[in-house]
Structures are given as structure tokens and as C-alpha cells.
Amino acid sequence: MENERMKEKRTQLIPYALLGLCLALLLFYLFKSVSLKKRLTLAEANQQQNVEQAAYQQKLMRIDSMLLRGDYGSALKAYHTELDNKDLQDASGIELRIAMAQQFLSLQQGNQADQQVLALQDSLDSIQSQRRVLPQEIRSYDSLSFALEKSKVQLANMKRRLMNRSIGQYLTFTNTKGSQMHYVGQVKNDMANGFGVALLNTGSRYQGEWHNNQRHGEGSFYWADGEYYIGNYANDKRNGLGTYYWPNGEKYVGQWKDDKRNGAGTFYGKDGAIVTEGVWTDDKLEKKGQERRSRR
């Protein structure tokens, strides 16, 4: 009799157990569904952000093309329009582009001023030559003669200052990798020497020290896709200590030679934690670890 009661109780418990199991499975899949939905929403938001950023980069490259064509006024106006857009971040150096466009425009106006100075100088020379053949009684206008001579001296000084400018000059040349460079900065012997900024026809830019049209010394190079390098250069290549950054927050800090990682270096993850470190040879880590490729 007792056994039959125990069997009956167990039989009655089975539906409850099955019901509890079903509820547990339901809660598990419900939680998993919510989690997947959140991940999907986040992925869609990231995708939308990437699409907007790509469109923004394309817009900036179209404006950069105005700058390369020499349409500095239109480029400057377009840059200011983008800067006033509060919904977009300054991820591509828009303020630097504005500064370069202003410099280019100023230099263009300065070149026009040079021509005006030279034209006025020629006019004064012509007046002076005519004055020598005028009758003796007209030469008595000493005040006019004095004014002409004073103007010639002032214009000669202005011309000399314009001809001797060493900061803020504009050059175009081709670098060692075949890219056209539009350069604004210090110039010596008709070449980039000292500090300056260059915009490449690829959309990249470099700001830093130069020697004979080559990147040499401390500088920063920014690629159009968001990667950038800050450190030392020699003979137009990354040489010495420098840091290479990826858009996702990862970075490499260490030694470079001929645009490749050579020597001691450390690779950091996007959270700032060390992923791997050691000695590198021609962009390869001599011990096993995670690697990221840098630009050649």
C-alpha cells in the first residue's frame, strides 16, 4: 500500500518537473533572443556609423581635389561648411585642411602681389627714364622727384622681403614613392627644408620636419582610412622610435627601420593592454604572438 502511494506521488510530480523544465528552457531562449537582438542592434548601429564615416571621407576627398586643383577659395568655403556640421567628428584633420587652404590662398594672393609690385616698379622706372628727357624747367619739381625716389626705395624693400620669404612657401613635387606632394612650409634651395605640411594626391598628409623634399626628423603621417604614425623619419621613411595607430584603437610602439618594425617594440590592444612584445625583424616578431600589418 505504501509503495503504491509513493508511485502515485512520483507520477503526480512528473508533470510539474516537465513544466519546470519547459519554463527554464523558455527563459533561456528568451534571454538568448534578447541578447542576440541587442548584438544585432549594435552591429546595425556600427554599420550605419561606418557608412556615414565612409561617406564623410569621400566628401572630404572631393573637397581635397579642389585644393589640389588650386581652387583654394572654394575648398576653404567647403571645409568651413563641414566644420560647422556638429554631427560629424573631426576625424580627418578638417582644421588642418582649413589652415592649409588659408595658407595656399594667402600664397596665391602673395604671388599676385609680387606681380603688382614688379609692374609698379617697371612703371616707376619708366617715369624716371621719361623724367630725364624732360625739359630743364620741369626738373625743378623736386618734391615729385623726392616722392618718386622714396617710393622706389620702399618698393625695392618690399620686393626684397617677398623674394626672401623662407616660411610659408608653396611647392609641388613627387616623393620617392611616386606620389605628388602639395607642400606649404619652410623652403631652402627651392626644396622643402625645415618644418612644413604636405597633402598627397592620395588624400594622405604629412606634417613635420623635412630635408631636401624628404621627410626627415620628427613628423606625423595620416592615411585617408584613419591609420596614422607619429615618430621619427630619415630619408623619407619611418626610422627610429615611433608609434603606429590603427582606427580600432590598437597601436605599436617601438623601433623602425626603412618603414618596417625593426628592434624592440610592443603591440597594444584597443583596451590599452599589452598583447605582445619583443624584438622585431623586417616587420616580423621573432617570438610568437599577435601581429598587425603596418603600411609599407
pLDDT of 170: 85
pLDDT of 166: 44
How many alpha carbons lie under 13 Å from residue 210 in its C-beta half-sphere? 26
- pLDDT per position as a tens digit, 148-207: 565 556 555 555 544 444 446 888 999 988 888 899 889 999 999 999 999 988 888 999
Residue 23 confidence (pLDDT) above 60:
yes
pLDDT of 231: 96
Which residue from 183, 192, 169 is spatially nearest to 110, judged by alpha carbons?
169
Residue 58 confidence (pLDDT) above 90:
no
Residue 269 confidence (pLDDT) above 60:
yes
Q: What is the mean pLDDT of residues 253-268?
A: 95
Q: What is the mean pLDDT of residues 249-262?
A: 96
* Percent of the chain scoring above 90 in pLDDT: 31
Residue 255 confidence (pLDDT) above 90:
yes
pLDDT of 116: 53
pLDDT of 151: 53
pLDDT of 134: 46
CB atoms within 10 A of CB 205: 23
Q: In sequence order, what are the residues at sequence separation of 6 or more whose Cβ sits closer than 8 angstroms to the Cβ of residue 285? A: 276, 278, 279, 291
Burial of 84: CB neighbours in 10 Å, binned 0-12, 13-18, 19+: exposed
pLDDT of 121: 54
DSSP 140: G
pLDDT of 177: 87
The strand order across the sheet containing 284-285 reads 169-174, 180-188, 191-200, 205-211, 214-222, 228-234, 237-245, 251-257, 260-268, 274-281, 284-285
pLDDT of 201: 84
pLDDT of 156: 57
pLDDT of 194: 93
Confidence of residue 282 (pLDDT cuts 50, 70, 90): very high
